[in-house]
């Protein structure tokens, strides 16, 4: 009965930045994170009564989430929202240049876009082609991933319906989704948020949203203002570095080498 924990682990992958999805997956790390998520979201077994409602709930979910819906949703999201954003960034040299140089985009604020593009080309002659191919491949990859996740999502949803609705409610809901209007709603409700109009309407409210984010950041900073300032590895003295490395079962040199390797890989994460 660990389907929901697995679902959470799979959905957590969607929260990762797109470039991170392109990096080779570490099976041990993924397994560790899935186990941690499973412990955070324990799943209680269904009761006998809920188990008895599971077949009806499963049949209902098949109508609520028609086959292929998850993949269609991802394709719609990329075509309607992410593609224009990627196209805009694909023409700008600042994001890849910042990554290649290991600096923030803010440090390039005074750099002309054309100059940034030429500089990026010096470091990575194929950066534009790389962005184009990633933009073409990512929707296909996400579509495949969501299609693979669909059975797990449906299984988890079926348990939720069996848990939260009684037999009469399940029948009543099934009546609606068995109609043409219900079937249309089931398919369209998942992909409506991928409509460019939805993105446009959301952008109209962006100033208010950004103001809210600024307020939230200020509140978080106030809540942690009295805490110690975090230190980086390079702010530790040699003895502290050695002690920290020993805690991890590593040498200072080995840990620094790992850090340098990670930073080098991150330079091409754009």
Per-residue pLDDT tens digits for 203-221:
777 777 677 777 888 888 8
Q: Decide: 64 and 182 in contact? Cβ < 8 Å.
A: no
Residue 218, domain member (yes or no): no
Q: Which residues contact 26 (CB under 8 A, 6 or more apart)?
A: none
Q: Is it the case that residue 114 has pLDDT exceeding 50?
A: yes
* Choice between 99 and 64, residue whose per-residue pLDDT is larger: 64
- State residue 161's pLDDT score: 96
d(CA 26, CA 37): 16
Residue 1, domain member (yes or no): yes
Q: Which two tokens stand for residue 121?
A: 């080309």
Neighbours of 89 (CB within 10 A): 15
Q: Is the same domain home to 19 and 92?
A: no
Q: What pTM does this model have?
A: 0.58
- State residue 174's pLDDT score: 96
- Residue listed under structure tokens 């030429």: 118
Q: Is the same domain home to 133 and 163?
A: yes
Q: Is the same domain home to 25 and 135?
A: no
Q: Which residues contact 263 (CB under 8 A, 6 or more apart)?
A: 102
Q: Is the same domain home to 155 and 68?
A: yes
Helix, strand, coil content of the chain in percent (nearest 5): 80, 0, 20
Please state the rounded mean pLDDT for residues 58-69: 90
d(CA 80, CA 203): 13
Structural domain count, the chain? 3
pLDDT digits 0-9 by tens, 141-155: 888 888 888 898 899
Q: Which residues contact 89 (CB under 8 A, 6 or more apart)?
A: 95, 131
Residue 147, domain member (yes or no): yes
Phi, psi of 252 (to 5 degrees): -60, -45
4-8, 125-129, 176-180, range with the lowest pLDDT: 4-8
How large is the greatest C-alpha to C-alpha distance in the chain, in angstroms?
A: 71
Q: Is the same domain home to 52 and 147?
A: yes
Residue 206, domain member (yes or no): no
Residue 204, domain member (yes or no): no
Q: Decide: 96 and 124 in contact? Cβ < 8 Å.
A: yes
Helices 48-64 and 180-191, axial angle in degrees (round to 10): 80
Q: Is the same domain home to 31 and 64?
A: no
Domain coverage including residue 243: 234-270
Q: Is it the case that residue 90 has pLDDT exceeding 60?
A: no
Q: Decide: 131 and 122 in contact? Cβ < 8 Å.
A: no
DSSP reduced 3-state for 74:
helix
d(CA 47, CA 26): 37
């Amino acid at each position: 009965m660990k389907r929901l924990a697995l679902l959470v682990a799979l959905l957590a992958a969607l929260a990762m930045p797109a470039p991170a999805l392109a990096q080779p997956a570490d099976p041990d790390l993924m397994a560790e994170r899935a186990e941690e998520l499973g412990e955070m979201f324990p799943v209680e077994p269904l009761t006998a009564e809920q188990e008895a409602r599971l077949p009806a709930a499963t049949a209902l979910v098949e109508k609520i989430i028609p086959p292929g819906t998850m993949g269609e949703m991802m394709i719609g999201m990329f075509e309607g929202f992410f593609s224009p954003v990627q196209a805009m960034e694909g023409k700008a040299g600042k994001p890849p240049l910042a990554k290649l140089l290991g600096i923030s985009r803010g440090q390039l604020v005074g750099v002309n876009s054309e100059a940034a593009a030429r500089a990026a080309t010096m470091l990575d002659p194929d950066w534009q082609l790389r962005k184009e191919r990633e933009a073409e491949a990512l929707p296909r990859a996400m579509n495949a991933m969501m299609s693979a996740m669909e059975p797990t999502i449906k299984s988890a949803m079926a348990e939720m319906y069996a848990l939260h609705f009684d037999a009469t409610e399940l029948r009543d809901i099934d009546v609606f989704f068995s109609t043409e209007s219900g079937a249309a709603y089931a398919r369209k409700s998942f992909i409506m948020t991928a409509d460019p109009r939805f993105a446009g309407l959301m952008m109209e409210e962006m100033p208010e949203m950004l103001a809210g984010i600024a307020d939230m950041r200020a509140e978080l900073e106030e809540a942690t203002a009295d805490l110690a300032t975090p230190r980086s590895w390079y702010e530790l003295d040699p003895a502290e570095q050695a002690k920290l490395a020993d805690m991890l079962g590593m040498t200072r040199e080995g840990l620094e080498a790992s850090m340098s390797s990670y930073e080098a890989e991150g330079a091409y994460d754009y």
